[in-house]
Structure formats: C-alpha cells, structure tokens
Amino acid sequence: MRILVTGGAGFIGTATVRTLTAAGHDVVVLDSLRADVHGDRAAPDLPAGVPLVRADVRDAAAVRDALADADAVVHLAAKVGLGVGIDDIDDYVASNDLGTAVLLRAAAEQAPHVVYASSMVVYGEGAYRCAEHGGVHPPPRAEADLAAGVFDPRCPACGRVLVPGLVAEDAPLDPRNVYAATKAHGERLLAAWTRATGASATALRFHNVYGPGMPRDTPYAGVASIFRSEAEHGRAPRVFEDGGQRRDLVHVDDVAAAVRAAVERPQGAGRVEAFNVGSGTVSTIGEVARRVAELLGAPEPVVTGEWRAGDVRHVTASSERAGRVLGWRAAVGLDDGLAELVGGTDRVGRTGT
C-alpha cells in the first residue's frame, strides 16, 4: 500500500513511518520541519529509502504531488501544545484547520482512506458520575474552587464532587482550549469530506503519548518529557494542583501500531469512525513524576498547588472499541516505557512496531 504521512518527521510521525515500512508499505513523508517543533535537530531519523517532501501541508501543489497514487493518508501534521490562551489562536487555526482543509481538498479526487490524528482533548473533561445524578458531563471548573484547592469537578445539579471514570467514543465533544477546538473541527471537516467523496476515514483520539524521541523543553513537550528534563538536571519535578490528575500515558510505539491498524482496516465508505488510543492504565500526574524522579535519582517531586484555568482534571480512555474493531491493544507497560524514556534501560524487544 502506498501511504502519505504528513508530519512524518515528528515524534509520532517517525515511529509511525518505521512501523508502516516494517509492515511492507511504501511510505512518503511530507513535513515542513518547522523550527518550533523540530528545533535545530539534524535531518529526521527516517528509514532508508523513505522520501521526504519538505513542504507545509497548506501548500496545495506540494500536497497534490505527494498524494500521487496514494492508497491512504496518515494526517499527523499539526501545531500541537496547550493552546490555552488566544495569543496564537490564528496560528493554530491556520496550521491545523486550514492545513487539514487543504489536504482534504487535494485528496478529494482520488479519495484515499484517511487516518486523522485527533486527541483526547476533544472531550474536555472525561467521564464522571454523581452519587445522586448518575453520569454527568461537568462544566469548566470554577476558579474559586481551584483557588481554594478544590480541584475535582462538581455536579452542576447538586454541587457534589464527581467521581471520574473512563470516557468512551460516544461522549460529547467539548473542546476547552484552542488546540482542542482545532482537533474537534478537524474531525468535523473529515466527516463532511467523507460524505462528499464516499471515502472512508478514521479519527484516532490519542491520549498522552510518550516515548523515545519526544520533544523536551518546548511548548510541545508532554508531561513525562517535562518531568524528565527537570530530573535530569537534578531538580525536583514540579506538579500542578495536588498531583491527583488522572491521565492515560500511551507509548509512541503503541500509537504507531494503532495507526497501522487503522490504515489496514478501513471501516466503511462515506463516514468517519473514531477510536480512543490509550494504554488502558490510569495513572496520576503525581505518580508519573515520582517514577521519573526515582529512575533518575532526582529529588522527590514538589506538589505546588498551582493551577491553570484551561486545564482539565481527569481524562482517561476506554480503548475497548479499538481492540474489538481494529484488533489493536497497547503492549508497552508504563514502568518499562518510562525506564526506556529516561534512558535507564532498553525495552526488551523494541522494534518500532
């Protein structure tokens, strides 16, 4: 199968390209190598023989040329990060919304299967239950609660603190920052495109991706990378709120395997199918900080109590549907993955697939 991977020179992209080529697919990478993502790194670590088209995904002519004879497109190219404020809202929208639109317009005629990198952030908060009112989708947390150290969302009907659970793909989308809004809009654009073209598409809602090659000391670094950077310098990792924020950290090789499964198993013409891509293991931010500090012999993490109004408290996934439909399940445990990330050990059997 001939596959175009946009953003294929990035963190998730290079792992995905390794996995697809190892499976025998013919891969072409399109990547702008923008400095705010790649820094001053040397040429990307792509498998031998994989062509790299250095172009922005908003360059319609370059995208059309790269798409030639493609059977599938893996669309990873995006401006990522927090997107909590509005100072760079125009860059997020131009990079992500317009970039996706240009790609889909170029792909309309040949209508390849599209695998779109979405995110857990499209949900806003995760799944919650109230003891009195059952399943509840909470509004944004009140700043007065955050300032008072009450970090868990409250039931909008009775004010009780809610109990978190696992979010499934049928949960309503409630993006709560600029980046999240662009990811949710990308799914909507994809739905319109599949209806118009009769093509198939899959949206993979990645949870907190980590692993070798992840960026550090940039706006795009994940929490594990930030903690690693602090611990490597002998500093105690700093943990916001009370450290109890629940997350699902999924290894980049497992994410790449999910992309391969989605590429090889289109789910039907004229529609988008969405799948959560998480490890299935719930961890707290405080636990991750402690594990990273221990692996690097750094001081115990400092729980600061700081908070950001745009952050969500708990968002962890049920990835059962991806297992049932795509035949994909995460294989890398968090302890092994974090040890590999910080350089303490090599994960046994790591092949990038």
> What does DSSP assign to residue 154?
B
pLDDT of 34 higher than 60: yes
Any idea how long the chain is? 353
Catalytic residue among 92, 123, 179, 210: 179
Rounded Cα distance between 16 and 263, Å, is: 11
Q: What confidence tier does 133 reach under pLDDT thresholds 50, 70, 90? A: very high
> What does DSSP assign to residue 161?
B
Rounded Cα distance between 277 and 325, Å, is: 12
The reported pLDDT for the residue numbered 222 is 81
Average pLDDT on 40-69 reads 91
Q: Is 216 exposed, middle or buried (0-12, 13-18, 19+ CB in 10 A)?
A: middle
pLDDT of 8 higher than 60: yes
pLDDT of 65 higher than 50: yes
In the numeric block, which tokens belong to residue 214? Answer: 């992840």
Show the CA angle centred on residue 322, arms to residues 318 and 323, nearest 5°: 95
Given a contact cutoff of 8 angstroms between Cβ atoms, the answer to whether 137 and 171 are in contact is: yes
The reported pLDDT for the residue numbered 327 is 98
Q: pTM of this prediction?
A: 0.94
Average pLDDT on 186-194 reads 98
Describe the chain by its helix, strand, coil percentages, rounded to 5: 35, 20, 45
pLDDT of 43 higher than 80: no
Show the CA angle centred on residue 279, arms to residues 77 and 30, nearest 5°: 15
Characterize the bridge pairing of strands 26-31 and 52-54. parallel
116 is catalytic: no
Average pLDDT, the chain: 92
Given a contact cutoff of 8 angstroms between Cβ atoms, the answer to whether 340 and 291 are in contact is: no
pLDDT of 347 higher than 60: no
The reported pLDDT for the residue numbered 42 is 58
Q: What confidence tier does 84 reach under pLDDT thresholds 50, 70, 90? A: low
Half-sphere exposure of 78 (CA within 13 A, CB side): 29
Q: Which of 15-29, 31-45, 126-140, 241-255 has the lowest mean pLDDT?
A: 31-45
Show the CA angle centred on residue 121, arms to residues 32 and 314, nearest 5°: 140
The reported pLDDT for the residue numbered 351 is 38
Q: In terms of pLDDT, which residue wins out, 87 or 76? A: 76
> What does DSSP assign to residue 29?
E
Q: Is 11 exposed, middle or buried (0-12, 13-18, 19+ CB in 10 A)?
A: buried
The reported pLDDT for the residue numbered 66 is 97
In the numeric block, which tokens belong to residue 251? Answer: 């290894």
Listed in sequence order, the residues at least 6 apart from 276 whose beta carbon sits closer than 8 Å to its beta carbon are: 120, 167, 168, 169, 205, 207, 317, 318, 319, 321, 322
pLDDT of 36 higher than 80: no
- Distances in Å between the Cα of 102 and the Cα atoms of 58, 95, 106, 305 are 6, 10, 6, 42
